[in-house]
Amino acid sequence: MTFKPSGKFKIPNREVMSDWASWITGSVKNVTGILNICVLGPVNTFAAQWPDFMQQNLDPKAVAKARGALSSKTPERIYQVFLLGLMYYLQSEGWEISIEPRGGSGYIDIHLVSKETKSAVLIEVKSSDKEEDIERDSLAALDQMERKNYRNRYGLPGIRFLREYGIANYHLESCVNGRYVELDGQSGWVQKDDPAMKTST
């Protein structure tokens, strides 16, 4: 894995990615359930469960507040690397995973696509300066998706169903806000209730 001057990182090929993902998430158990909720919904269930999951599985030594840490917050890059490592396991379920692809006028932190189900998941990660900012920053991450047109149809060819998540973190604390949208031929992307809510009740 190499870092670019811009702060972005690059994994050279799928073999390296596989080894790296196994290493970075090797101690995480029972990841399948939470990841399926992320991509299949309901969005609100993932938003509610993800903070506890990360608090249990993110190694405190890898983030801040450890002895010798330069900052008291969790660097966005560390959280993003860990999240991507977990998401890698969804490839066996037919999801294509990419990091920081072009999306409208910006770059999407994590982008998952299932061509078979015509579904996609967009995730934007923020690192908060204070714990009390995580709610605000997760909402700002969602706002960024619309403001920078991450739903640009040329970047999501054939996609009709979309789940979007803004995730903000501070050390082991995190907050998730999300929404479900569908492509309407007349109106473009329209926010709706997540259909998975009907099957989960």
pLDDT band with cut points at 50, 70 and 90 for residue 67: very low
Dist. CA 105–CA 183, nearest whole Å: 20
**Residue 114 tokens, joined:** 């299932």
Q: What is the pLDDT of residues 9-36, one digit of tens each?
A: 455 555 555 555 554 445 555 678 899 9
pLDDT tens per residue, range 172-181: 899 999 999 9
What pLDDT band is residue 136 in, cutting at 50, 70 and 90?
A: very high
pLDDT at 190 over 90: yes
Give the pTM. 0.82
Give mean pLDDT, residues 161-172. Answer: 94
Question: Alpha helix (H) ranges present in the chain?
Answer: 14-24, 32-40, 43-57, 76-87, 134-147, 196-200
Cβ neighbours for 80, distance < 8 A, ≥ 6 positions apart? 99, 109, 110, 125
Residue 14 makes CB contacts below 8 A (sequence gap 6+) with none
Task: Write down the domain spans for the chain.
Answer: 29-195
